[in-house]
Amino acid sequence: MTSAPALEHPLRTTVSDQLEMPPPVVAPESLSVTFNEVGRAFGGRTVLRNVTMTVTPGEVVAILGASGCGKSTLLRAVGGLDSGFTGSLLIGDSAVTRYDERTAVGFQEPRLLPWRSIRKNIELGLPKDLSKSEGQSRVDELLELVGLSDRAHLRPREISGGMAQRASLARALARQPGVLLLDEPFGALDALTRLKMQDLLLDVHAKTGTTVLLVTHDVNEALQLADRILLLGRHESDPVEGAAVKALVSVPGTRPRDRAATDLAPLRAELYAGLGVDSR
Amino acid sequence: MTTTLAAQAAAPGRAKSLPGGRILLGAAVPVFIIGLWWLVTGPLDLFTPTQLPAPQSVLDAGVGLFEGGALFAHVGISVQRVLLGFLFGAGVGLLLGSLLGLSRIADGLLHPTVGAFRAVPSLAWVPLILLWVGIGEDGKVLLIAIGAFFPVFTSVHSALRHVDPHLVEAGRAFGYHGTRLLTTVQLPAVVPPVFSGLRLALAQSWLFLVAAELLASSEGLGFLLIESQNNGRVDRLLLAIVLLAILGKITDTLLGFIERKALKTWA
Ligand SMILES: Nc1ncnc2c1ncn2[C@@H]1O[C@H](COP(=O)(O)OP(=O)(O)O)[C@@H](O)[C@H]1O
Ligand SMILES: [Mg+2]
């Protein structure tokens, strides 16, 4: 298990090379996440156990694993949506609190309020103490960032699934989270839209520098986006039930990575094998 | 997305061309029935006026009552009773439905009791109301309120219970709780089902009005029905039925208008 590469600097420099960069929309006060022996059982059935790792501020970590292995459960614990876990979980230097304000969640479904316009839905994510004018200008910037400025007045049912996920991402960013939690945010999208969303996420990360925990079941998505990949699962030899950390690997190279690159092939094969899939 | 937008763009256009046509289409059968009615009572003369009076004499009966001022009095008091009973019953239904829909404790405590009361056919309360309250204005309004209460209570209660938990969780995740969560997520989500409950309650209110007025009253459309039956005034009897239909339709349309406004904002 290698330590996280110092990824922030290469990213920042590539970004500042380009002219007329807008100021960061999200104050890049990114926070670390420390898992210490985190586990979770539901009614006596252990789902997760012994998850120990530290996510450094500004890092993008993909959580990869088979369906039902506890990826969402782990993410929900970080967001303070679930208090039934064992072990300790820190964000920055202090423990996770209920519905932790330092995090923001992008759910697998957009979960937009159907009776509100896209703009009003994004406003939902604004911190309570923000002044109205500040809030408005932040929402304007976010609409611009996710490319929905001209759709801001529409209702969720009037836009496509990809747009709804972008709105959901903007709502999460409106909070200026220290840690952005994304639970298979692109899982329900078609392949092409998914690639575009991945590029958007990289763009967002470059501009905000926020820590990102991204749950996915897509090996290529993890390789494309992450600095490190946390593979959850259960070794066949394990006598006890529940998924644990099967591997924690650093992805070589810097983003944006070439999707057609072949140098990631061995890692890809390794990850597929870890998921119990033959990559050939 | 293209299809959604295209469908939405097409819908208003279609709606615009329809209303005139719709009204004509909807009026065809009533016009035919009135024509047939006129034919069998007038030119064909198949019925005596005590069996089935001509449309014209029903109209004359209405004009006669109107000139004496009685028509206005009957309609006025009936509308007043329905509105009072509906507002009272629906108001209590909204309050109690919200309380039990939102609070697990209140639900555990009160729902079995409310359920037991709901199991009683509402008209079975009539003798008790007669004994305890009397069938004056209070008794009638109370009976109508009972009729209006249950549809509203049931729709609010079950709608609040079934608000999409994903949306509620999203609200909580973004720092909403208590009253802010209620007004931001839960209440807007139940607007459509609550309006269905309100419209049902309004129909029930008219039903219970007629029941109350048939039982005991000295004015109102139900009284007009029973009095006309006793006097053999089939023309007035038919007039009362037509008036009930028209008033029921008008109040329902008004509520439907409010519903459309609300759905525009909330759905
Ligand atoms: N609230 C819950 N109650 C009981 N079991 C749960 C609950 N949430 C998740 N589980 C179980 O935990 C396991 C992991 O779920 P989840 O974290 O959603 O998996 P993943 O996101 O990796 O697909 C599943 O077997 C699921 O049935
Ligand atoms: Mg999941």
Q: Please indicate, yes or no, if residue B180 is contained in any of the structural domains.
A: yes
Q: Which of residues 139-168 of B touch A (CB under 8 A)?
A: 166-167
Contacts of A170 in chain B (CB under 8 A): none
A-B contacts (CB, under 8 Å): 48
Are A41 and A67 in contact by the 8 Å Cβ rule? The answer is: no
**% of chain B with per-residue pLDDT over 90:** 62
- Is the model more confident about A11 or about B22? B22
Q: Please indicate, yes or no, if residue B141 is contained in any of the structural domains.
A: yes
Q: CA-to-CA distance for B4 and A156, rounded, in angstroms? A: 11
Exposed, middle or buried: residue B267 (CB in 10 Å: 0-12, 13-18, 19+)? middle
Please indicate whether, in this complex, the C-beta atoms of A111 and B167 are within 8 angstroms of each other. yes
How far apart are the CA of B189 and the nearest CA of chain A, in angstroms? 8
Are B163 and B186 in contact by the 8 Å Cβ rule? The answer is: yes
CB-based contact, A201 to chain B, within 8 Å: no
For Cα atoms B241, B242, B244, give the angle at the middle one, nearest 5 degrees: 65
Q: Please indicate, yes or no, if residue B193 is contained in any of the structural domains.
A: yes
Task: Encode pLDDT of A121-142 as tens digits.
Answer: 999 999 988 999 999 999 999 9
Residue B18 has a pLDDT of 63
Phi and psi angles of residue B245, each rounded to the nearest 5 degrees, phi first:
-60, -45
Contacts of A157 in chain B (CB under 8 A): 4
Number of domains in chain B: 1
Please indicate whether, in this complex, the C-beta atoms of B169 and A159 are within 8 angstroms of each other. no
Task: Encode pLDDT of B96-127 as tens digits.
Answer: 999 999 889 999 999 999 999 999 998 898 88
A89: how many CB neighbours lie within 10 A of its CB? 20
**Quick one: which of A88, A128, A82 has its CA closest to A105?**
A82
Which residue, judged by its Cα, is nearest atom 16 of ligand 1? A70
At B145 the three-state DSSP class reads helix
Residue A7 has a pLDDT of 39
CB-based contact, A261 to chain B, within 8 Å: no
Verify whether ligand 1 is closer than 6 Å to residue A10 (CB atom).
no
Please indicate whether, in this complex, the C-beta atoms of B174 and A175 are within 8 angstroms of each other. yes
Q: Alpha-carbon torsion B156, B157, B160, B164, what sign?
A: negative
Using the predicted structure, report yes or no on whether residue A23 has a pLDDT greater than 50.
Answer: no
Architecture of the A1-102+180-280 domain: 3-Layer(aba) Sandwich (3.40)
Question: What's the pLDDT band for A253 if we cut at 50, 70, 90?
Answer: confident
CA of A52 to the centre of ligand 2 (A): 20
Dihedral in degrees, nearest 10, Cα atoms A121, A125, A131, A137: -60
Please indicate whether, in this complex, the C-beta atoms of A127 and B172 are within 8 angstroms of each other. no
CB-based contact, B175 to chain A, within 8 Å: yes
Note the pTM of the prediction, 2 decimals. 0.78
Q: Provide the domain limits for residue B76.
A: 55-265
B120-126 long-range Cβ contacts below 8 angstroms, 24+ apart: B122/B146, B122/B147, B122/B150, B122/B208, B123/B208, B123/B211, B126/B211, B126/B215
Residue A238 has a pLDDT of 76
Using the predicted structure, report yes or no on whether residue A10 has a pLDDT greater than 80.
Answer: no
Q: What is the mean pLDDT of residues A152-173?
A: 95
Please identify, by atom number, the ligand 1 atom nearest to the C-alpha of residue A69: 22
What are the structural domain ranges in chain A? 1-102+180-280, 112-176
CB-based contact, B23 to chain A, within 8 Å: no
- On average, the pLDDT of chain A sits at 88
Please indicate whether, in this complex, the C-beta atoms of A124 and B171 are within 8 angstroms of each other. yes
Cβ-Cβ contacts under 8 Å for A161 (sequence gap 6 or more): A110, A188, A189, A193
Cβ-Cβ contacts under 8 Å for A23 (sequence gap 6 or more): none
Verify whether ligand 1 is closer than 6 Å to residue A72 (CB atom).
yes
Cβ-Cβ contacts under 8 Å for A28 (sequence gap 6 or more): A58, A208, A209, A210
Task: Encode pLDDT of B136-189 as tens digits.
Answer: 899 999 999 999 999 999 999 999 999 999 999 999 999 999 889 988 999 999
Residue B267 has a pLDDT of 67
Using the predicted structure, report yes or no on whether residue A244 has a pLDDT greater than 60.
Answer: yes
DSSP code at position A229: E
At A63 the three-state DSSP class reads strand
Using the predicted structure, report yes or no on whether residue A5 has a pLDDT greater than 50.
Answer: no
Please indicate whether, in this complex, the C-beta atoms of B166 and A107 are within 8 angstroms of each other. yes
Which residue, judged by its Cα, is nearest atom 5 of ligand 1? A42
Contacts of B175 in chain A (CB under 8 A): 99, 101, 127-128
Q: Please indicate, yes or no, if residue B168 is contained in any of the structural domains.
A: yes
Question: What's the pLDDT band for A280 if we cut at 50, 70, 90?
Answer: low
DSSP code at position A252: P
DSSP code at position A28: -
Q: Looking at residue B195, which CATH number applies to its domain?
A: 1.10.3720.10
Q: CA-to-CA distance for A251 and A249, rounded, in angstroms? A: 6
Please identify, by atom number, the ligand 1 atom nearest to the C-alpha of residue A75: 17
At A231 the three-state DSSP class reads strand
Are A137 and A82 in contact by the 8 Å Cβ rule? The answer is: no
Please indicate whether, in this complex, the C-beta atoms of A159 and B1 are within 8 angstroms of each other. yes
Q: Please indicate, yes or no, if residue B31 is contained in any of the structural domains.
A: no
CB-based contact, A147 to chain B, within 8 Å: no
Is the backbone peptide bond immediately before B193 cis, with ω within 30 degrees of 0?
Answer: no
Question: What's the pLDDT band for B17 if we cut at 50, 70, 90?
Answer: low
Using the predicted structure, report yes or no on whether residue A226 has a pLDDT greater than 90.
Answer: yes
pLDDT winner (highest mean) among A16-30, A154-168, A180-194, A238-252: A154-168
- On average, the pLDDT of chain B sits at 89
- CA distance to B144, B147, B206, per residue, from B141 (Å): 5, 10, 11
Dihedral-angle region of residue A30 (phi above 0 means left; psi in -120 to 50 means alpha; beta otherwise): beta
**% of chain A with per-residue pLDDT over 70:** 89
Which one of B168, B174, B265 makes the best mutation probe of the A interface by having the most chain A beta carbons within 10 Å? Answer: B174
Question: What's the pLDDT band for B50 if we cut at 50, 70, 90?
Answer: confident
**Quick one: which of A180, A168, A107, A164 has its CA closest to B166?**
A107
Please indicate whether, in this complex, the C-beta atoms of A104 and B4 are within 8 angstroms of each other. no
Verify whether ligand 1 is closer than 6 Å to residue A216 (CB atom).
no
Contacts of B173 in chain A (CB under 8 A): 79, 81, 99, 104-105
Residue B178 has a pLDDT of 87
Verify whether ligand 1 is closer than 6 Å to residue A68 (CB atom).
yes
Least confident window among A4-18, A226-240, B151-165, B244-258: A4-18
Residue spans of beta strands (DSSP E) within chain B: none
Q: Please indicate, yes or no, if residue B221 is contained in any of the structural domains.
A: yes
Verify whether ligand 1 is closer than 6 Å to residue A42 (CB atom).
yes
For B202, the enclosing helix (H) or strand (E) is helix B187-215
- CA distance to A47, A68, A106, A183, B32, per residue, from A53 (Å): 18, 21, 22, 19, 80
Verify whether ligand 1 is closer than 6 Å to residue A56 (CB atom).
no
Using the predicted structure, report yes or no on whether residue A256 has a pLDDT greater than 90.
Answer: no
Cβ-Cβ contacts under 8 Å for B41 (sequence gap 6 or more): B47, B49, B52, B53, B54, B55
Q: Name the residue facing A115 among B166, B175, B266 (closest C-beta).
A: B266
For chain B, how are helix, strand and coil distributed in percent, rounded to 5?
85, 0, 15
Are A37 and A31 in contact by the 8 Å Cβ rule? The answer is: no
Q: Please indicate, yes or no, if residue B8 is contained in any of the structural domains.
A: no
Please indicate whether, in this complex, the C-beta atoms of A113 and B267 are within 8 angstroms of each other. no
Residue spans of beta strands (DSSP E) within chain A: 33-42, 45-55, 60-64, 86-91, 94-95, 103-106, 179-183, 211-216, 228-233, 244-250
CA of A232 to the centre of ligand 2 (A): 12
CA of A257 to the centre of ligand 2 (A): 26
Are A35 and A52 in contact by the 8 Å Cβ rule? The answer is: yes
Pairing assessment for the beta strands A244-250 and A179-183 based on DSSP bridges: unpaired
